[in-house]
Structure 1
């Protein structure tokens, strides 16, 4: 058992009872959502990949609470990855920390408790449930493991929490980190040259906040490599006690080198000459760590969805760029990955589609049991054959899938905005950068 003096020393270093909060950049979309959801009295859980900015969002939430007049002593921040806690990571530690805080800080109101990287505590769900039922604190939690969080929280805390999924920076945030505020199409047009320059950097190095704030290219690469190693070793190897680290690393590099491509587990099994069970488990671990995502084929038959290959995407184009074994990943694949991530941020249910003539549609967007959009992404349509193929795929998909007659047909490309009429259908060709910014 860790003694009170060590606990208090550690808490004093992490908290802002007698020191100023650090300078940070606002991430409005998340901070507003966190505060809004906290007004319900439910536990607020921030989940997402490591280094995506969850801790900073907690700090910015603390700033907003202080601005609202909350006393500094009424706020407790606990970093559960502090090495001084490493030998005591259990629910007793949480109770010790809370009791030490209450004894020495004597908060005047109901305290706000921020628990960073909660998945490190075995049985944390039971402790959170007790705190929730007693109504003795307002609780904010972060975590970096999708399955662990959903399993633990979904059983013990069902109906008692609201979650917020945090992603690396979207393009609007990335521009803000570079001192640009693009509010509308006029701003976008006026600053097009600078926006294009920053976009090239964004698609290459991704949206992890610290990487975005790093100017030197070699340092960006070093940061991304360190993030990849940290996710692999801390969130997967250590958590699941894996011995075949070489196979895991090889699989992760293979997936990140093939973003926006169709991959079946059987094909991966043949490539690596490993068992299907091992491949399946390792891919699941990578998904749980928010490193990769898989998108199924659209079909109204769930069985057909399950037996067909899935498309693979990365949490960040910078990560896939830095670990890829392919020289010069295709721009189209990275563009498609950015669109995928933005659709996730917009809470869309996403599939891909193959027409009867084997034409592929990158994204089928389903909302409330109906298809609302078909989206193609292309690095360029200067070649008329390419343009015709992309448009033909969209129209054919719209005609083939039942109940999709009113779905929008969208082709996202760089630097073009036009509407094309084809066989009585409208295809909206949009500048992918403007689309990412929400500028229509």
Structure 2
């Protein structure tokens, strides 16, 4: 009971703590209309991109704009371990809502953060969804493969997914109060180019906006995201014998953004089994840490068989793992930025 109270301070205060709300993002406007639909909302994306903040912003919208009773909104983060999911639900109905979901006449809202850490979560959400029409469930998650499997196996047709990413460059400028007219952009060219350089090394992560110390930026991305995903998140989802090898692969990709990868050749260079290397690349992809760009061909089989280009998800990840910079590497980081921004799926290579 104490855990639930700690997470849901609006039961006492009637509002979300301003320190937790942050500044509203553009993606919030896309999400809010789906609150009217019955389907489960799933916000997926990397660590630290702002999924939890978005959940709080949705809750604040319900409280302030829709005037939903605070007691009809429950939030729980599965960063907190619980032994019994059903007991959590029963406690909320019994102690806070004072009625059960089956007989409630008004909609109730359940928010589950880091849902992939709850064992058997797809089946649990499916039961809630199927049994109680007046429930609206909103979740966030960081492990792509777990989320994809859960949606396909248990929640098909029962959810809407949103991929949450860091800020793009225009929104990054907006967050800093930098405005300009497109037809007069030349006037602001120098300021915008300075900000673009900073953006390249922070990649729109809100917590790093305004930070200019390279060492702090590097440590933030290494310790808060990359190392936590590789040494904690991935081993929680897969059987991993050598997380250090995954980190080594990540550093190789960081030093060569857009690297054409052949598993057999890389396995020989690292003196490792080819299947292990292939599996580790898949884990990196499903954890949102790398982006794969395929050779373009009208023949899908050809596209799949050809060597693929690999980029870290954002150039900030590469810069956090690189000790020495060059103009050529900076150019590749810019390429990495555009691949990420455009969500590029294919590259074309002429043989003539």
TM-score scaled by length of structure 1 = 0.73
Alignment of 1:33-52 (within 5 A): 33-52=30-49
Closer, same or farther: CA 40–352 of 1 in aligned 2, 3 Å:
same
1:247 aligned onto 2:242: no
Whether contact under 8 Å (2:253, 2:259) holds in the other structure is: no
2:36 paired with 1:9: no
Q: 1:187 to 1:14 in 2, by over 3 A?
A: farther
Please say if residues 21 and 63 of structure 1, whose CA atoms lie closer than 8 Å, have aligned partners that are also in contact: no
Instruction: Quote the offset at 1:213 in angstroms.
Output: 5.1
TM alignment of 1:82-101, pairs within 5 A: 82=80, 85=81, 88=83, 93-101=84-92
Q: For 1:188 and 1:139, how far apart are their aligned partners in 2?
A: 43
Partner Cα separation in structure 2 for residue 213 and residue 237 of structure 1:
33
Aligned residues of 2:230 and 2:243 also touching (Cα < 8 A): no
Q: Which has the higher contact order (CA 8 A, sep 6+)?
A: 2
Residues 1:197 and 1:213: Cα distance change in structure 2 (over 3 Å): closer
Unpaired runs of at least 5, structure 1? 1-7, 358-440
Q: Distance in 1 between matches of 2:281 and 2:166?
A: 21
Aligned residues: 338
The 3 A distance-change label for structure 1 pair 242 and 325 is: farther
SS at match of 1:191: helix
C-alpha separation between the residues in 2 aligned to 1:70 and 1:194? 43
Aligned to 1:121: 118
Aligned to 1:230, which of 228, 250, 273? 228
Whether 2:349 is the aligned partner of 1:354: answer yes
1:188-267 superposed matches below 5 A:
188-212=185-209, 214-226=211-223, 227-267=225-265
3-state SS of the aligned residue for 1:354?
A: coil
In structure 1, the residue matched to 2:101 is: none
Write the distance in 2 (CA, Å) between the matches of 1:278 and 1:262: 18
Question: Any idea what the Cα deviations from partners look like across 1:212-270, whole Å, max 9, x if unmatched?
Answer: 25454432222112121111122212332422122121112112222123222223212
Residue in structure 2 matched with residue 22 of structure 1 by the alignment: 18
In 2, are the aligned partners of 1:27 and 1:173 still within 8 Å (CA)?
no
Q: Distance in 2 between matches of 1:340 and 1:273?
A: 31
C-alpha spacing 1:350/1:11, structure 2 compared with 1 (3 Å): same
Alignment of 1:96-107 (within 5 A): 96-106=87-97
Unaligned 5+ runs, structure 2: 99-103
8 Å Cα contact 1:206-1:316 kept in structure 2: yes
Structure 2: how far apart are the matches of 1:274 and 1:228?
Answer: 22
Shift of 1:299: 0.4
Question: Which protein has the larger Cα radius of gyration, Structure 1 or Structure 2?
Answer: 1
Moved over 4 A (4+): none
Q: How big is the alpha-carbon RMSD for the aligned residues of Structure 1 and Structure 2? A: 2.0
Task: Determine whether 1:111 maps to 2:102.
Answer: no
